[in-house]
C-alpha cells in the first residue's frame, strides 16, 4: 500500500522543521495568551514576553496551568478574544460548582475538524467509508468533534448518538456502516445485543474499522473487541481542554498514538518532581496548544499518565507516539521508589489467560519494608488442586509485573469471586503502609 | 432600526427576479434529479426533461412525490450523486420498517447552514448573542441544524442538548444565554423548574429571544411563553425531508413565517383535489428543493397544513409568508363541505379565557345531516350556576368557530375534568357519521 497522508507537509516534517514551527507557534500563542486576564496577569508578574522562546526546550521555563486554574478563573479568565468572536463552547457537566469550559472561534473549530480528519485518515478511514458515530452529542466533545472530522474527511457520517443498541444495529445494516466510533465498554454491551438478536457482526455487518477512546482500556480489551467484531480497532485520545478527540491517534501500524506536534507541544513530567522524564518512561502528559486562538492553554497538566514511545514509526509520520493512557496521575502510587499506576498492573494481568476478572493491590508495611501485595483471582475452571500449577502461575505473574513496573510484587492467587465487588468505579488499591499516602 | 438582512441580494429579490431564479434552479434540479433511480425512471416514463420549465407555474405539470415513495425507494433510490460524495445522512427513528432518510453532500450542508443563519438573523439574533440549543442532537435535525446555523451566523453556541432542566438553567446563568431554541412544551416544564428553584427567568437570566418549533402550537401558547420568560418567541418551521429547521422562520414582525423561496418552490394544494388553492386559503404545503444536490425532492407533499399569508411584510423580505402549521392533512376532516383541521378549532378555543384545558370534536349524523359537535370544558372556577353566562359563552364559541372554519358547530359546554384524558397523543376527533371517514 502506498503511504498516504491527510497533510503530508505537516505530518512528515523533519525534527528540526517541526521544532522550528513549534517555536514560531509557541511565541504566537504566548502573544495571544497574554490578552487573557489569567496569562496576562501571570506572565506580566513573571516577566514572560512573546518572542522569548528561541528553542522549544525553553518551554520548561514557563509555569504550568492546572484544572484548578481553569476553575478559579471561570468562565472568561482564559479568553484571549472578545466574546463576540467565540462561536462555540464545550463545558463539563454538573449542576453545582464551577465546570471546566473551553471556548472556540471559527479558526479553532476548523483546526480541530482538520486534526480529527487527519486522525481518521491516519487510521485508514477514507471518504468512501460509512462512519457511524455512536456517542453522545451536545456538550460532550466526542459527538461534534467526530462529526466535523468525518465531514471534513468526506466520509458519510451517521450521527447516531449514544445508546439504543437495536437502532444502532439497524443503522449499521441499513446503510452498510464500515467504520464506527464508540467507547470500549459500550461495544461489549452492543455485542451482547447482536448475539441476542441472533446476529454476528462479522457476518451481518460490513464493519472494518472501530475507533475506541474516551475510556482507559488495555490492549487486551482492544484485541477482544477486534475479535468480536472482526475489525481493526484504533485507539483515539483526546481531552476537552485540548479540544476533545483528535489530539492523538493510532495509525494503521497500531503501535502507539501519534500526537499532533504541529498543534501541541508535548511533555512528559514526573508528577512528583515536575521534572521531565526521558522518552520511554511513564509520567504525566503536559500539553500546550499551538493552534488555538480563543483560549490557548500553556503547559496544561492533563493528569493523564503515558509515555513517549521511543523510535520512529514505519508509517512515515514524524510526530512522536504516546502510549495508551495507563491512568491518571492522581491514581499513581510510589512503591520501592517506583512510580506505579494500577492500569499497568491490570495490563499485565489481562494478558494472562488463567487470570479471572478481578484483582486488588494492597500496599503494606511488612517487617519495616513497604510491599505491594497483588491479590489475583484465577478463573473458576482452571484450578483443580494442582499446587505446582498454582506456584508456576504465581511466579509468572510476579515476574511480569516486576518487568512492567520494576518493583517486585507479592502475588496471592485467590478463588474466582472472592474479591468483594465495589459499587460504581472499581477500587483497585488499598494503602495500609505506615506512611501510606493513599488513605 | 435599520432594516438588516443576512443576504439582502436574495432576501429582497423582486417577484420577477425571484421567479426567474426559481425557474433556473428548478431546471437544474430536474437535471440532477434525473440521475437518481426514482426520478430518472419516473421522468423518463413521463417524458419530462430538464429545461422544460419556462415559467414557475409549470411546476404543476410535474408529478408529486410522497413519503410512501421515499419509503419504497429506501435507501438509495432518490440519491442523485455517487455515495462517495455524501457526507451526512439524517434518518427518522424506529427499529422496524423503512425509515425516511435524507442524504447531504458538502454543498447541501453549507446551503442548509446558511439558510439557518439567515433564519436566525431574520428573527433578530446577531453574532453578539449567546445561543443555547436545547434539543436532541444526533439524527434529529434540530441539533446539528441549529448548531451549524448558529456557528455560521457567528453567535456563541452552547450545544446543550435536550433535558436536564437544572443544568439548562445553570448554563443559561453561567454564560449569560440571550437566546435559546426549544420545543414549546419543554419550555413549560423548564419554567416549572425555574419556579421550584425560586428563580424567575425574567429576573434571573438574560434571555431576550426564544425560538420555538418542531411541535405544532398556537399563537396563544407563544404568548404564554413570551410572558413566562419575558422574551419574544419566534416560530421556526422545518421538516427533515427539506433538511430540517431553516425552511421558514418568523421575522421580528412576528406575522407569519418567511419561507425561503430562493431555495424552495412553495405550493399550497387542496389535499383532496390536489389542485392549488388561492393565497390565504388553507391547504397542504407542497415543496420542491432548489438548492440541494445529493437528494433533490420535487413537489414533495409535506402533509403539513398551512396557508400563504397574502400581502407584503414590512420587514422588506419579499419571500412569502406561511401561517403557523395548523395540523397534518391526515388529521383533516370535511364537514358541510368545509375542510377542517382540529388545530383551527383549538386555536379558537385557546383564545377564550373561560375555556378550560380540554375539548373534543364529535362528528355525528343527526336527522340525516352531518354535524360537528364541539365539547368544551369550562374553567372550574368560572361557572357558578348562571345559565345566561353559559349560553352567552356557548354563542361566542359557536360564532368564532364558524368564522374560522366556515362550518357552524354545535357547542356543548361541560365541567372541567369531564372529558376523559387519553394516554399519549391526545385524541381530539371522533367520527360517528353514517358515512364517516375517520373510523
Q: Give the residue from chain B lying closest to A169, CA to CA.
A: B95
Q: B interface mutation test: which of A81, A87, A140 has the most B CBs within 10 A? A: A87
Residue A346 lies in a domain: yes
Contact state of A138 with B127 under an 8 Å Cβ cutoff: no
| Chain B residues inside the 8 Å CB shell of A84 | 127-128, 154
Q: Do B136 and A160 touch (CB under 8 A)?
A: no
The angle subtended at Cα B51 by Cα B45 and Cα B56, nearest 5°, is: 100
Domain termination site, one of B331, B365, B389: B331
Nearest-neighbour CA in chain B from A26: distance (Å) = 26
B437 inside domain: no
Same domain, B281 and B371: no
Instruction: Check residue B417 and give its pLDDT.
Output: 79
User: In terms of residue numbers, what domain contains B322?
Assistant: 1-331
Residues B137 and B235 in one domain: yes
Quote the minimal CA–CA distance from A92 to chain B in Å: 11
**B108, B137, B190, B196: best to mutate for the A interface, most A CBs within 10 A:** B137
Chain B residues close to A157, C-beta within 8 Å: 87-89
Q: Which residues of A touch B116 (CB under 8 A)?
A: none
3-state secondary structure A219-273: HHHHHHHHHHHCCEEEEEEEEHHHCEEEEEEECCCCCCEEECCCCEEEEEECCCC
- Test B156 with A86 for CB contact under 8 angstroms: yes
Q: Is B438 part of a structural domain of the chain?
A: no
Q: What is the pLDDT along chain B (439 residues), one digit of tens a residue?
A: 566 899 999 999 999 999 999 999 999 999 999 999 999 999 999 999 989 899 999 999 999 999 889 989 999 999 999 999 999 999 976 566 688 999 999 999 999 999 999 999 999 999 999 999 999 999 989 999 999 999 999 999 999 998 889 999 999 999 999 999 998 878 988 998 999 999 999 999 999 999 998 777 788 889 989 999 999 999 999 999 999 999 999 999 999 999 999 999 999 999 989 999 999 999 999 999 999 999 999 999 999 999 999 999 999 999 999 999 887 777 778 888 777 888 888 888 988 988 887 889 999 988 878 899 999 998 877 777 778 888 899 999 999 998 888 889 999 999 887 887 655 456 788 888 876 554 3
Residue A88 has its nearest CB partner, among B83, B101, B157, at B157
Chain A residues lying within 8 Å of B74, measured CB to CB: 174
Q: Are A88 and B167 an interchain contact pair (Cβ–Cβ within 8 Å)?
A: no
> Which DSSP symbol is given to B65?
B
Residues of B in contact with A171 (CB under 8 A): 91
- Report if residue B194 sits inside a domain: yes
The CATH number assigned to the domain holding A407 equals 3.30.300.30
**Phi/psi of residue A302, nearest 5 degrees:** -75, -20
Total tally of structural domains belonging to chain B: 2
**ipTM of the modeled complex:** 0.82
User: How confident is residue A93, by pLDDT bands cut at 50, 70 and 90?
Assistant: low
Domain CATH for B320: 3.40.50.12780
Average pLDDT (A249-269) is 97
Same domain, B381 and B266: no
Comparing CB atoms, the residue among A75, A99, A137 nearest residue B161 is A137
Under 8 Å CB-to-CB from A45, ≥6 apart: which residues? none
| Minimum-distance CB partner of A75 among B127, B139, B174 | B174
Residues A169 and A182 in one domain: yes
A438 domain-assigned: no
Measure the CA–CA gap between A250 and A213, rounded to whole angstroms: 11
Give the pLDDT confidence of A197-236 residue by residue, as tens digits: 999 999 999 999 999 987 777 888 899 899 999 999 999 9
- Residue A385 belongs to some domain of the structure: yes
Residues of A in contact with B95 (CB under 8 A): 164, 166-167, 170
Find where cell 463545558 sits. A91
Domain termination site, one of A271, A300, A331 = A331
Residues of A in contact with B155 (CB under 8 A): 87
Task: Tell whether A353 and A318 lie within a shared domain.
Answer: no
Closest-approach residue (CA) in chain A for B146: A138
Q: A161 pLDDT exceeds 80?
A: yes
Q: Pick from B421, B400, B410: which is nearest to B361 by CA? A: B410
DSSP code, position A426: P
Interchain pair B89, A158: CB under 8 A: yes
Q: Give the nearest partner residue to A170 out of B95, B143, B167, using CB atoms.
A: B95
CB contact (8 A) between residue B93 and residue A167: yes
Bridge partners of A210, per DSSP, are A180, A233
Q: Give the gap in angstroms from C-alpha B249 to the nearest C-alpha of chain A.
A: 22
Task: Give the largest CA-CA distance in chain A.
Answer: 72
Is the pLDDT assigned to residue A255 strictly greater than 80? yes
Q: Are residues A400 and A265 in the same domain?
A: no
Same domain, B3 and B116: yes
- Alpha-carbon distance of B45 to B143, in angstroms, equals 39
| Contact between A174 and B93 using a beta-carbon 8 Å cutoff | no
A355-358, Cβ contacts within 8 angstroms, sequence gap of 24 or more: A355/A379, A355/A397, A356/A380, A356/A416, A357/A416, A358/A419, A358/A421
- At B426 the pLDDT is 61
Give pLDDT, residue B439.
Answer: 39
Average pLDDT, integer, range A391-413: 91
Contact at CB, A93 and B159, closer than 8 angstroms: no
Is residue A345 located within the same domain as residue A324? no
Establish if B439 belongs to a structural domain.
no
Taking an 8 Å cut-off on Cβ atoms, the answer to whether B99 and A174 are in contact is yes
CA distance B76 to chain A (A): 9
Residue A388: count other Cβ atoms within 10 Å of its Cβ: 7
Q: Which residues of A touch B94 (CB under 8 A)?
A: 167
Q: A159 with B138: CB under 8 angstroms? A: yes
Q: Which residues of A touch B244 (CB under 8 A)?
A: none
Number of Cβ within 10 Å of residue B195's Cβ equals: 12
Q: Are residues A265 and A371 in the same domain?
A: no
| B306 within domain boundaries | yes
With 90 as the cut, is the pLDDT of residue A96 above it?
no
**Do B151 and A175 make contact, defined as CB atoms within 8 angstroms?**
no
From the list A89, A95, A171, the residue facing B166 with the nearest CB is A95
- State the average pLDDT over residues A165-173: 94
Residues A316 and A361 in one domain: no
Q: What is the pLDDT of residue A439?
A: 38
How close does chain A come to B165, measured CA to CA in Å? 10
Instruction: Say if residue A64 is in the same domain as residue A213.
Output: yes
Q: Average per-residue pLDDT in chain A?
A: 91
List the single best residue of B156, B172, B193 to mutate versus A (max A Cβ within 10 A).
Answer: B156
Q: What confidence score (pLDDT) does residue A436 get?
A: 56
Note whether A235 and A213 are within 8 A (CB).
yes
Measured between beta carbons, the chain B residues lying within 8 angstroms of A167 are: 93-95
Which of B315, B331, B347 is the endpoint of a domain? B331
**Is B174's CB within 8 Å of A99's CB?**
yes
All three cell numbers of A379: 478463573
- Residue in chain A closest to B85 (alpha carbons) equals A154
| Comparison of pLDDT for A346 and B332, the residue scoring more | A346
Shared domain check, A131 and A18: yes
What is the CB-side half-sphere exposure of residue A69 using CA atoms within 13 A? 21
Amino acid at each position: 500500500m502506498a503511504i498516504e497522508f491527510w497533510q503530508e507537509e505537516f505530518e512528515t516534517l523533519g525534527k528540526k522543521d517541526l521544532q522550528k514551527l513549534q517555536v514560531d507557534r509557541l511565541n504566537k500563542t504566548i502573544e495571544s495568551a497574554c490578552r487573557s486576564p489569567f496569562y496576562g496577569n501571570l506572565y506580566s508578574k513573571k516577566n514572560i514576553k512573546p518572542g522569548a522562546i528561541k528553542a522549544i526546550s525553553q518551554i520548561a521555563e514557563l509555569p504550568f496551568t492546572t484544572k484548578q486554574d481553569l476553575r478559579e478563573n471561570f468562565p472568561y479568565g482564559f479568553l484571549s478574544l472578545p466574546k463576540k468572536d467565540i462561536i462555540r463552547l464545550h463545558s463539563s457537566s454538573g449542576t453545582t460548582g464551577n465546570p471546566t469550559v473551553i471556548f472556540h472561534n471559527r479558526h479553532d473549530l476548523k483546526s480541530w475538524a482538520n486534526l480529527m480528519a487527519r486522525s481518521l485518515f491516519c487510521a485508514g478511514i477514507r471518504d468512501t467509508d460509512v462512519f457511524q458515530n455512536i456517542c453522545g452529542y451536545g456538550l460532550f466533545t466526542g459527538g461534534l468533534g467526530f462529526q466535523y472530522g468525518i465531514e471534513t474527511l468526506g466520509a458519510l457520517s451517521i450521527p447516531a448518538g449514544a445508546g439504543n443498541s437495536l437502532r444502532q444495529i439497524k443503522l449499521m445494516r441499513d446503510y452498510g456502516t464500515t467504520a464506527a466510533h464508540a467507547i470500549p465498554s459500550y461495544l461489549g454491551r452492543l455485542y451482547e445485543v447482536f448475539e441476542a438478536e441472533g446476529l454476528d457482526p462479522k457476518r451481518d455487518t460490513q464493519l472494518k474499522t472501530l475507533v475506541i477512546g474516551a475510556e482507559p482500556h488495555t490492549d487486551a480489551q482492544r484485541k477482544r473487541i477486534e475479535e468480536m467484531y472482526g475489525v481493526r480497532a484504533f485507539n483515539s485520545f483526546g481531552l476537552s481542554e485540548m479540544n476533545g478527540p483528535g489530539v492523538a491517534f493510532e495509525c494503521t501500524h497500531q503501535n502507539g498514538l501519534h500526537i499532533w506536534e504541529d498543534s501541541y507541544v508535548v511533555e512528559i513530567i514526573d508528577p512528583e518532581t515536575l521534572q521531565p522524564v526521558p522518552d520511554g518512561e511513564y509520567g504525566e502528559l503536559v500539553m500546550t496548544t499551538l493552534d488555538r486562538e480563543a483560549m490557548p492553554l500553556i503547559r496544561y497538566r492533563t493528569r493523564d499518565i503515558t509515555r513517549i514511545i521511543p523510535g520512529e514509526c514505519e508509517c512515515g509520520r514524524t510526530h512522536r507516539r504516546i502510549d495508551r493512557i495507563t491512568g491518571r496521575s492522581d491514581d499513581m502510587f510510589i512503591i520501592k521508589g517506583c512510580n506505579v499506576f494500577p492500569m499497568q498492573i491490570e495490563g499485565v494481568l489481562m494478558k494472562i489467560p488463567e487470570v479471572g476478572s478481578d484483582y486488588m493491590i494492597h500496599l503494606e508495611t511488612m517487617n519495616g519494608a513497604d510491599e505491594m501485595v497483588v491479590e489475583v483471582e484465577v478463573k473458576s475452571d482452571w484450578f483443580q488442586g494442582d499446587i505446582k500449577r498454582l506456584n508456576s502461575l504465581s511466579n509468572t505473574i510476579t515476574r511480569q509485573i516486576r518487568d512492567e513496573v520494576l518493583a517486585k510484587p507479592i502475588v496471592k492467587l485467590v478463588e474466582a469471586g472472592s474479591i468483594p465487588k465495589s459499587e460504581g468505579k472499581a477500587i483497585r488499591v488499598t494503602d495500609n503502609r505506615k506512611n501510606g499516602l493513599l488513605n
